[in-house]
Amino acid sequence: MKRGVAGSYETAYVAGEQIQAFIPHPLPPKPSLELNDQRQRLLERATLALGRLDSITLLLSDPALFLYAYVRREAVLSSQIEGTQSSLAQLLLFELEEAPGVPLDDVTEVSNYVAALNHGLVRMKEGFPLSNRLIREMHAILSLYFKQHRSEYYRLLDLVRTDGDWEAWVDFFLEGVAHTASNAVETARRLVRLFQQDEQKVQTLGRSASTALRVFRALCERPLVTLNQICKHTGLSFPAASKAMQALEGLGIVQEITGRRRNRAFAYQQYLTILSEGTESL
């Protein structure tokens, strides 16, 4: 629906320079948003997808296991659209301070994306409202705001500004919510199946299975770790953690990725493969 220009331009001064600022009309728009049958179905589809996403708490013993790596996957995807070359594994290595030879500027940019998101979540949990101030704080950590479909995003925002066409923007937003939530649910289900299958493999190790399971479950929380981190997380001695990691390597569950003899890092490779799908081609 075309309602006409959704605001007015006013003259303002920033650092002594004259600019034209667009001041939007108050919401809700007039006439009200048109909820036709198609838009109602989009709303129902998005709501259903969010309900399924919420239900992953029933699939995962600890949803934080999923969110830790999934947020980083989304950061890699979003930043690659702007031309960065960091992979998910490089980002995780960077966070371990174990990333020699990676494109440092790129991986730092992706890490800042994660930091900005986490900052926003923490502030909202503290009771801070979603506001321009919070967004500015997040942007101060990030210096960029990524959108996977940024061309369409800006085109539709322009239609809101110039024509008052809120319906096209709402349709775009609802499609994005449904798509993103559905993908997250499918990824969570695949990871649950992977964890179950690999835990069964570990159970075949006999007397050493108990120690190996402690290491394996730590890898489910952090798919890329050093042996020192495993010791700290599990309370195992370095020799015990090293022996258990070797057993997991023998089962094909983990892979040493640095090629070094000291300060080695191990990746739960299939976990990373699932999360990295779609990031390689961007």
When pLDDT is cut at 50, 70 and 90, the band that residue 98 belongs to is: very low
Same domain, 96 and 219: no
Same domain, 53 and 180: yes
Same domain, 141 and 87: yes
What pLDDT is recorded for position 71?
66
Domain end call among 142, 169, 191: 191
Same domain, 221 and 135: no
Residue 136 lies in a domain: yes
Q: Per-residue pLDDT tens for 77-92?
A: 655 555 555 666 666 7
What pLDDT is recorded for position 131?
53
Burial class (CB in 10 A: 0-12, 13-18, 19+), 182: middle
Same domain, 84 and 137: yes
Same domain, 49 and 165: yes
CA distance 202 to 19: 65
What letters, b where the CB count within 10 A reaches 16 and e where it falls short, cover 200-216?
Answer: eebeebeeebebbbbbb
Same domain, 149 and 183: yes
Same domain, 258 and 175: no
Same domain, 133 and 222: no
Highest-pLDDT range among 17-31, 73-87, 242-256: 242-256
Residue 148 lies in a domain: yes
The domain of 218 spans 204-273
Domain end call among 160, 191, 222: 191
Residue 17 lies in a domain: no
Q: Per-residue pLDDT tens for 105-154?
A: 444 444 455 555 555 556 656 665 545 544 544 444 337 323 457 678 77
Residue 10 lies in a domain: no
Provide the number of structural domains found in the chain: 2
For the chain, the C-alpha Rg in angstroms (whole number) is 23
Q: How many residues does the chain have?
A: 282
Same domain, 81 and 159: yes
Closest listed residue to residue 69, CA positions, set 95, 36, 101:
95
CATH code of the domain containing 213: 1.10.10.10
Same domain, 142 and 255: no
